Amino acid sequence: MKKKDVKILLVDDEPDILEIVGYNLSLEGYQISTASNGLEAVTKAKKEKPHLVILDVMMPEMDGIEACEQIRKVPDLSDTIITFLTARGEDYSQMAGFDAGADDYITKPIKPKVLVSKVKALLRRLKDSNEEVADDIVKVGDIVINRVEYKIIQNGTEIILPRKEFELLSLLASRPGKVFKREEILDKVWGNEVIVGGRTIDVHIRKLREKIGDDHFKTIKGVGYKFVL
Amino acid sequence: MKKKDVKILLVDDEPDILEIVGYNLSLEGYQISTASNGLEAVTKAKKEKPHLVILDVMMPEMDGIEACEQIRKVPDLSDTIITFLTARGEDYSQMAGFDAGADDYITKPIKPKVLVSKVKALLRRLKDSNEEVADDIVKVGDIVINRVEYKIIQNGTEIILPRKEFELLSLLASRPGKVFKREEILDKVWGNEVIVGGRTIDVHIRKLREKIGDDHFKTIKGVGYKFVL
DNA sequence: ATGCATTTTAACGATTTGGTAACAGTATTT
DNA sequence: AAATACTGTTACCAAATCGTTAAAATGCAT
**Helix extents (H) in B131-187:** 163-174, 182-185
The more confident residue out of B207 and B109 is B207
Phi-psi region of A55 (alpha: psi -120 to 50; beta: other; left: phi over 0): beta
Could you tell me if A183 lies within 8 Å of chain B, comparing CB atoms? no
A199 confidence band (pLDDT: 50, 70, 90): very high
- The pLDDT of residue B46: 94
Q: Does the domain formed by A137-227 have CATH 1.10.10.10?
A: yes
CA distance A16 to chain B (A): 34
Q: Does B137 contact A at CB distance below 8 Å?
A: no
Give the nucleotide nearest to A219 (CA→C1'): D18
Is the separation of the CB atoms in B227 and B145 below 8 Å? no
CATH class of B3-123: alpha beta
Least confident of A44-48, A214-218, B115-119, B200-204: B115-119
pLDDT at B100: 77
Output the distance from B201 CA to C30 C1' rounded to whole Å: 29
Chain A CA closest to residue B23 = A73
Backbone angles phi, psi at B122, to 5 degrees: -65, -40
- C1' of nucleotide C19: residue with nearest CA: B200
d(CA A112, CA A23): 10
Q: Tell me the Cα Rg of chain B.
A: 25
Q: Is B149 on the interface with A (CB under 8 A)?
A: yes
CA-to-C1' distance for B221 and C14, Å?
Answer: 40
Q: Write out the residue limits of the CATH 1.10.10.10 domain(s) in chain A.
A: 137-227
Reply yes or no on whether the pLDDT at A206 is more than 90.
Answer: yes
Chain A window 195-224, residues with Cβ within 7 A of nucleic strand D? 199, 202-203, 205-206, 209, 219-224
Beta-bridge partner residues of B106:
B85
Q: What's the count of helices (H) and strands (E) in chain A, helices before strands?
A: 7, 12
* Contact criterion met (CB below 8 Å) for B63 and B71: no
Residue nearest to nucleotide C6 (CA to C1'): A162
List the nucleotides on chain D closer than 7 A to a protein CB: 5-11, 16-22
| Cβ-based neighbour number of residue B104 at 10 Å | 24
Could you name the CATH architecture of A3-130?
3-Layer(aba) Sandwich (3.40)
E-strand ranges in A12-89 read 31-35, 52-56, 81-87
Cβ neighbours for B97, distance < 8 A, ≥ 6 positions apart: B57, B64, B65, B68, B84, B86, B105
Distances (CA, A) of A98 to A59, A105, A160, B121: 18, 9, 41, 27
Considering chain A, tell me which residue range(s) the CATH 3.40.50.2300 domain(s) occupy.
3-130
Query: Which tens digit of pLDDT belongs to each residue from A94-129?
Result: 456 566 667 777 777 777 777 877 787 777 666 555
Q: How does pLDDT run across A147-186, given as a tens digit for each residue?
A: 888 889 898 888 999 999 999 999 999 999 999 999 999 9
Task: Indicate if CB(B165) is under 7 A from strand C.
Answer: yes
Report d(CA B191, CA B182) in Å as an integer: 12
Out of B113, B149, B160, closest to residue A177 by CB: B149
Q: Which of A78, A149, A226 sits opposite B27 (nearest CB)?
A: A78
Q: What per-residue confidence (pLDDT) applies to B90?
A: 64
Q: How confident is the model over B36-45, as a mean pLDDT?
A: 93
Q: Report pLDDT for A93.
A: 43
- Nearest-by-Cβ selection for A129 from B113, B149, B162: B113
pLDDT band at B129 (very low <50, low <70, confident <90, very high): low
**What pLDDT does residue B115 have?**
83
Q: What's the mean pLDDT in A6-26? A: 89
- CA A123 to CA B1: how far, in whole Å? 32
Rounded Cα gap, residues B162 and B203, in angstroms: 13
Question: What pLDDT, on the 0 to 100 scale, is given for residue B92?
Answer: 59
Per-residue CA distances from B141 to A81, B25, B131, B176 (Å): 43, 36, 22, 9
Per-residue confidence band for B89, with pLDDT thresholds at 50, 70 and 90: low
Q: Does B118 touch chain A (CB under 8 A)?
A: yes
- Would you call A226 and B121 a contact, using CB atoms and an 8 Å cutoff? no
Task: Give the Cα-Cα-Cα angle B147, B153, B159 (nearest 5 degrees).
Answer: 90
Helices (H), chain B: 15-27, 38-48, 64-73, 112-123, 163-174, 182-185, 200-212
Percentage of chain A lying above the pLDDT 70 cut: 86
- Residue among B95, B126, B149, B189 with most chain A CBs within 10 A, to mutate: B149
Portions of chain B given CATH number 3.40.50.2300: 3-123
* pLDDT at res. A100: 67
Tell me which architecture the domain covering B138-227 has in CATH. Orthogonal Bundle (1.10)
CA distance A51 to A61: 24
What is chain A's mean pLDDT, rounded?
83
Displacement of CA A55 from its chain's centroid (Å): 20
B134-158 average pLDDT score: 89
Q: For chain A, say whether B163 makes contact (Cβ under 8 Å).
A: yes
**pLDDT, average across residues B130-159:** 84
Asked if A79 reaches chain B (Cβ–Cβ under 8 Å), the answer is yes
Mean pLDDT of A75-79: 74
Region A138-154 average pLDDT: 88
Q: Per-residue pLDDT for A211 more than 70?
A: yes
